[in-house]
Homo-oligomer: A and B are copies of this chain.
């Protein structure tokens, strides 16, 4: 029976992970290990300056006072007797498309599964607010079922964004590349009642590249966007230019 690990970045109590758990629980030996708080925006952050605490809730979920990456890391490096065969992250409260993937804890949790060598899937709903979360959970179930039926055990990493519509209204699937966003909006300064200034990180930028073929475009057409990801950040295309500049240093 396949060992399915579920995590997320919205915290173990979020409707998205609850729906995912219920959609997958009869497909294998399902374990949930997730942050004890909302850790949206956690990216791949790892907790290195303190040890982590793990608590098991009444419904059997494991919660960790750490990040999404911490959760999958623990689960993949010996916390449990057996390592997962597949890692499923989400379902996130809102899209993770384009440059969002760099900041997303949902994608990071799946990336940690990928780095540990197993198929790993990150699921997000395009709009916030959990509308049609059951439909999204059924989509996630289709993916996991396919991976189990085909017995895929090699490391791969898919980033999946699902429009918030009923299952019957989804317009199919599209394999996409990541789009791009404009730079983020300005910092928001707020003064509290004591006159102290505080700074909120501004909203993500508007879509800059949402051309045909991107995740932005596919979901705008009502399709489930499936973007295969890789984790080598090397900028191969600019190595020659880099070399000519670096030569100037000698």
Given A76-B183, A102-B233, A230-B233: A156 in contact with B238 (beta carbons within 8 A): yes
Complex-state Cα separation, A178 to B234, whole angstroms: 6
A239–B78 CA distance with the chains assembled, in angstroms? 32
Q: Which residues of B contact A53 (CB under 8 A)?
A: 49-50, 196, 198-199
* Chain B nearest Cβ from A60, distance in angstroms: 13
Tell me if A120 is interfacial: C-beta within 8 Å of chain B.
no
B185 to A77, Cβ gap below 8 A? yes
Total copies of this chain within the assembly = 4
The answer to whether A187 touches B234 (Cβ under 8 A) is: no
Bound: A165/B174 CA distance, A? 51
29 contacts between A and B (CB under 8 A): A13-B57, A38-B49, A40-B49, A44-B44, A44-B102, A44-B103, A51-B51, A51-B190, A54-B199, A70-B201, A73-B187, A73-B201, A74-B201, A78-B186, A78-B187, A102-B233, A150-B245, A175-B243, A177-B234, A178-B232, A188-B193, A190-B190, A190-B192, A226-B242, A227-B235, A228-B234, A228-B235, A228-B241, A229-B233
Known: A188-B192, A193-B200. 13 other contacts (CB 8 A): A41-B46, A48-B201, A50-B53, A51-B199, A74-B199, A79-B199, A146-B248, A150-B248, A177-B234, A178-B234, A190-B190, A193-B203, A229-B234
Quick one: given A52-B198, A103-B46, A228-B238, are A37 and B36 in contact (CB under 8 Å)? Answer: yes
Q: Does A52 contact B201, Cβ atoms closer than 8 Å?
A: yes
Provide the bound-state CA to CA distance between A14 and B116, in Å: 32
With a cutoff of 8 Å between Cβ atoms, the chain B residues found around residue A168 in the complex are none
Alpha-carbon distance A197/B76, docked complex (angstroms): 18
State whether the Cβ of A132 lies closer than 8 Å to any Cβ in chain B: no
Residue in B74, B102, B177, B201 whose CB lies within 8 Å of A231: B102
Q: Which of chain B's residues has its CB closest to A51's CB?
A: B198
What distance in Å separates the Cβ of A116 from its nearest Cβ neighbour in chain B? 5
Residues from chain B with a CB closer than 8 A to the CB of A115 are 99, 102, 183
Is B51 within 8 A of A242, CB to CB? no
